[in-house]
Amino acid sequence: MTAAAVIVAAGRGTRAGGDMPKQWQMLCGRPVIEHTLRAFHEHPEVTQIVLVLHPDDLDRSGSFDNATVVAGGADRAASVRNGLAATEGTDHVLIHDVARPLVTAQTISSVLTALARSDGAAPALAVTDALWTGVDGVVTGTQDRAGLFRAQTPQGFRRAAILSAHAAHPGGAADDVEVARAFGLDVAIVPGDEDNLKITHPQDFTRAERIMRGRNGH
């Protein structure tokens, strides 16, 4: 099965610190965005990469000859729609957060394989920790963790179905799986990867670098 990959890179990522958005910050000698793009470029079943950039970052697009570059929208959903509109030549799409540069070929392949039997598929990890509710730094209760998962990307879909789902959605969804389910699409869960972290805070760069160096044998 083949698919186009939409890499969403239009956010500003202020929680990650630094003097520039996290996708442009360095990780093991390269910008985060380059690691993410390479993971999809090297996958044999990914036939097109669409990179969605913030309008202020479009002047950087000359560095990405292997991707179709489009401008993002007012929010993440609008950016995804712009990216989906630029995909072509395939019946399936993968939507991935640029801030997950450690995604593996195995995770990408697992999502694509699941699309043979489902409208959508996404990697996730079962919640194993105890869950609390809290207010003002004080525990106020517990939450049953049964059936709870931590969502990851890439999230894959049949292209026509997710385009229709986004067109019908009122906005405010946490991710594309929520958009898909609101439209009545079924989404399969495939095994996630603890190393497929989303860089969100400054300390995440240190963890990501440690994982990446371990993979490279350093």
The per-residue pLDDT for range 66-91, each reduced to its tens digit, is 999 999 999 999 999 999 999 999 99
Distance CA 166, CA 179 (A): 6
Q: What domain count does the chain have?
A: 1
Range of the domain at 118: 3-215
32-41 helix and 105-114 helix, angle to the nearest 10 degrees: 50
End-to-end Cα spacing for the chain:
34
Contact 117, 185 (CB under 8 A): no
The per-residue pLDDT for range 97-141, each reduced to its tens digit, is 999 999 999 999 999 999 999 999 999 999 999 999 999 999 999
Mean pLDDT of the chain: 95
CATH number of the domain that 84 lies in? 3.90.550.10
The per-residue pLDDT for range 36-70, each reduced to its tens digit, is 999 999 999 999 999 999 999 999 888 898 999 99
Over residues 175-197, the mean pLDDT reads: 98
Contact 196, 102 (CB under 8 A): yes
Least reliable range by pLDDT among 3-7, 12-16, 121-125: 12-16
How many angstroms separate the Cα of 84 from the Cα of each of 1, 37, 53, 93, 205? 18, 16, 13, 8, 29
**Residues 133-142 as b or e (16 or more Cβ within 10 Å = b):** eeeeeeeeee
Asked whether the predicted pLDDT for residue 192 surpasses 60, the reply is yes
Q: What angle do CA 198, 53, 163 make, to 5 degrees?
A: 85
pLDDT category of residue 218 using cuts at 50, 70 and 90:
low
Distance CA 174, CA 177 (A): 8
How many C-beta atoms lie closer than 10 Å to residue 164's C-beta?
A: 14
